[in-house]
Amino acid sequence: MPITIDEGRRLFTITTDHATYQLGVHPLGFLMHYYYGPRTDGTDFSYLPQYRDRGLSPQPADAHDDRTVSCDAMPLEYPCQGSGDFRTVCLRVRRPVEGQDAWGCDLRYAGHRLLDQAPCPDGLPVMARPAGSGRTLQITLRDQEAGVEAVLYYTAYESCDVIARQAVIRNIGADGLTVVKAASAGLDLYQPQPWDALTLYGRWAGERNVQRQRLGHGTFAIGSTRGASSAQHNPFIAVCEPDAGEDHGCCYGLLLVYSGGFSIQAQRDQFDQTRLTMGMDDEGLAAVLAPGGSLTTPQAMLVFSAAGLGAMSRRLHDAIRGFLLPKAPALRPVLLNSWEACYFDIDEKRILTLARQAADLGMDMLVMDDGWFGHRDDDRSSLGDWTADRRKFPDGLSGLSAKIKAMGLKFGLWLEPEMVSMDSDLYRAHPEWVLAVPGRAPHSARDQYVLDMTNPEVAAYLWEKLSRLLAEDGIDYVKWDMNRNITEAWSNTPGRHGALLHDYIKAVYALLQRLTAAFPAVLFEGCAAGGGRFDAGMLACVPQIWCSDDTDPIERLAIQYGTSLAYPACVMTCHVSVSPNHQTGRSTPLTTRGIVAMAGVLGYELDPAALTDRQKDEIRAQVARYRDIAPLMMEGDLYRLTPGPDETELVGWMHVAKDRRRAVVSAVATAVHANAPTAYIRLAGLDPDTMYAIEGRPQPLSGQALMAGGLPLGEVRGDYPAWQLMLTAAGED
């Protein structure tokens, strides 16, 4: 059993394959955090926290002046404001007292249960339940006088070393309760050692760069107040020992299963203890709970690795693939997308020409991106009017898709359902459907407004429009885009304005889940102006997300390297585009573009008419090769062989099949020099005792040799050269 309970000592131990997590109840009822680290069976870690008179730290009244008891210094599982804890807390509430708002509560242990089921997700995406009974621990904390209860859930995923946490905040008798912060999880790393934090920051067309920094005293915080997880910060943090690297050192990874705004804090306190909190955005939160009402927080995945960042990533990848993603084949259709080929300049003739070329190049699907509906000749109009523009498509979408299918291709379509253009029939008919504060004109961005997804009329309209498209127009794939953030968190329908941003994203999930359930054969891809909503919440609804609008392969090295810290290859869509690249103007070889795009779900986004015959042959070869290696790359283990591109001129990675019989090694040189050193790459993840045949090399080598001595890649010459080598265990074809 992964969860054991010592009823006498009120001690709860969660054990996964390589980690142990332990919590327990203090004599005064505080829920203490005792341990999270390498697996140790049968230890009671309650000896670790030291209770000392901290002078000015406050005592609760029932400590009867025992100065060693102070929530300001103790390691706690779900600290709350109002309990004498001056640090960053998990829960902050307000409740009316004598006609005014009083702050805070003082949560104490009230009971526990072992559950066979994960908590009710309340419209939020959550990991699938692990097999076996008794995998979820429920602990209830209560402040009867304040009328507040926090119910904490811990679910153990042994094989991937993940513990999923979630909290439900309830009003159990307050006249009215306003929740202004409710974290999904808190983690007190209370031994006074230094920690580094790795986070993923960015911007449009430059998402998920890695930032690593020492956590100093004070609070390091990242988050999003945009109503989306955002390109600026990703809802992920890794906290690791300062000398931790890819294959050594203790690391904690925290990943939020949520696509709305979020908040992550890492605080180092006066006693050098480090507290992590992770949850939904609290700057935009004031959720009013009537008596009996509750607020369910998103799920947070916690992973521990004593074997470095590489193992941390692989465990998260396994958890996402095994328990979060909707079912999808490892080999996704290789597609040609019209965006960078044509932008808005599309009509049936151009799309059919592209389709013919996609078929000729051996691809599986033609995706028609933006510009097909209403009168959308640029990005200023028509969102919401989801009917084909008959000027461009006289036979409508169904006519177009029939012609594409006759070529043996699938047909995919771009949509941006959550938005409405200022210039659209939908907005003219229903201006009250947008998020806007009464009496004030809302902000526009890209000439569009955000639809109030919490309004049932909006949800019904979108369901009607989109389900009809999917039912009638032969659509095999949908790219679900979202190109702006929420500026006005106000709904015209009666509801919880203070929780609007949270309710908004839940309504997006509801529509997506309804559509994906009704049309299981349609492949959905997430997108938000590139990777502006690239998170584990979306990945519970769609199996892949457009990584970034930046398709420059050298820029992509950093984006995909950062993304891989938390997310597996099979969720990152990556396209080969034209050279010089449209975003950067940089020229790169087609081979390099192909190798970089094959690190995820491969697609193309260029006009084949501009290609030479030789380039066309190369693309045909790339597509064929990708079909061969995709299952191994999508389902295998990722090993980052070098630091990220900011720190090295040779970026290398490899994917190893779970049975270690095959592997694919990839590397790209980002700089060249005259009379330069030879490039070598040392491999990882192989079976030391297996002999591997190496593509293009006469001599097989043992896994041990390849991991100890590595491989010479040779001379680095020309613009951005790249290598991709297949390794096959001797005796395999």
Q: Which residues bind ligand DGJ (CB under 6 A)?
A: 339, 369-370, 379, 414, 481, 483, 527, 529-530, 546, 549
Residues with Cβ within 8 Å of residue 694, at least 6 apart in sequence: 700, 701, 711, 725, 726, 727
Q: Which of 586, 577, 559 is nearest to 231 (CA)?
A: 559
Closer residue to ligand DGJ in complex, CB, 190/567: 567
Decide if 481 is catalytic: yes
For tokens 């995706």, the residue is 367
Closer residue to ligand DGJ in complex, CB, 530/608: 530
Inter-CA distances, 235 with 36, 60, 483, Å: 21, 34, 19
Closer residue to ligand DGJ in complex, CB, 379/687: 379
Closer residue to ligand DGJ in complex, CB, 414/723: 414
Could you tell me if residue 720 is left (phi over 0), alpha (psi between -120 and 50 degrees) or otherwise beta? left
Q: How far is the CB of 532 from ligand DGJ (least distance, A)?
A: 8
Inter-CA distances, 190 with 36, 161, 272, Å: 10, 21, 8
Separation between Cα atoms, residue 455 and residue 437, nearest integer Å: 15
Q: How far is the CB of 276 from ligand DGJ (least distance, A)?
A: 32
Closer residue to ligand DGJ in complex, CB, 483/690: 483
18, 1 Cβ separation under 8 angstroms:
no
Q: Which of 72, 549, 550, 607 is catalytic?
A: 549
What is residue 252's three-state secondary structure?
Answer: strand
Separation between Cα atoms, residue 334 and residue 298, nearest integer Å: 33
Q: Is-cis flag, bond preceding 580, omega within 30?
A: yes
Q: How far is the CB of 385 from ligand DGJ (least distance, A)?
A: 15
What is residue 460's three-state secondary structure?
Answer: helix
Dmax (CA) for the chain in angstroms is 85
679, 667 Cβ separation under 8 angstroms:
yes
Find the angle CA(358)-CA(360)-CA(365) to the nearest 5 degrees.
Answer: 30
Residues with Cβ within 8 Å of residue 733, at least 6 apart in sequence: none
Closer residue to ligand DGJ in complex, CB, 541/650: 541
Phi/psi for 576 (5° steps) reads -80, 125
Closer residue to ligand DGJ in complex, CB, 528/713: 528
For tokens 């119910």, the residue is 151
Separation between Cα atoms, residue 369 and residue 335, nearest integer Å: 12
Separation between Cα atoms, residue 384 and residue 394, nearest integer Å: 20
Separation between Cα atoms, residue 507 and residue 324, nearest integer Å: 19
What is residue 207's three-state secondary structure?
Answer: strand
Separation between Cα atoms, residue 474 and residue 255, nearest integer Å: 36
Q: How far is the CB of 483 from ligand DGJ (least distance, A)?
A: 5
Q: How far is the CB of 575 from ligand DGJ (least distance, A)?
A: 9
Residue sitting closest to ligand DGJ (CB): 370
Could you tell me if residue 586 is left (phi over 0), alpha (psi between -120 and 50 degrees) or otherwise beta? beta
Decide if 549 is catalytic: yes
561, 640 Cβ separation under 8 angstroms:
yes
Q: What does the CA dihedral 351, 353, 355, 358 come to, rounded to 10 degrees?
A: -130
Closer residue to ligand DGJ in complex, CB, 378/646: 378
Closer residue to ligand DGJ in complex, CB, 572/729: 572
Closer residue to ligand DGJ in complex, CB, 535/549: 549
Separation between Cα atoms, residue 368 and residue 118, nearest integer Å: 40
Q: Which of 72, 481, 550, 607 is catalytic?
A: 481
For tokens 């992550």, the residue is 264
Closer residue to ligand DGJ in complex, CB, 400/527: 527
Tell me the residue type at 260: G
Closer residue to ligand DGJ in complex, CB, 106/369: 369
Task: Give the DSSP per-residue string, 288-325.
Answer: EE-TT-EEEPPEEEEEEESBHHHHHHHHHHHHHHHHTS
687, 707 Cβ separation under 8 angstroms:
no
Q: How far is the CB of 607 from ligand DGJ (least distance, A)?
A: 15
Separation between Cα atoms, residue 185 and residue 160, nearest integer Å: 19
Write out the two tokens for 610.
């501009």
Write out the two tokens for 586.
């940089």
Separation between Cα atoms, residue 585 and residue 604, nearest integer Å: 18
Write out the two tokens for 538.
């979306």
User: Would you name the residues annotated as active-site residues?
Assistant: 481, 549
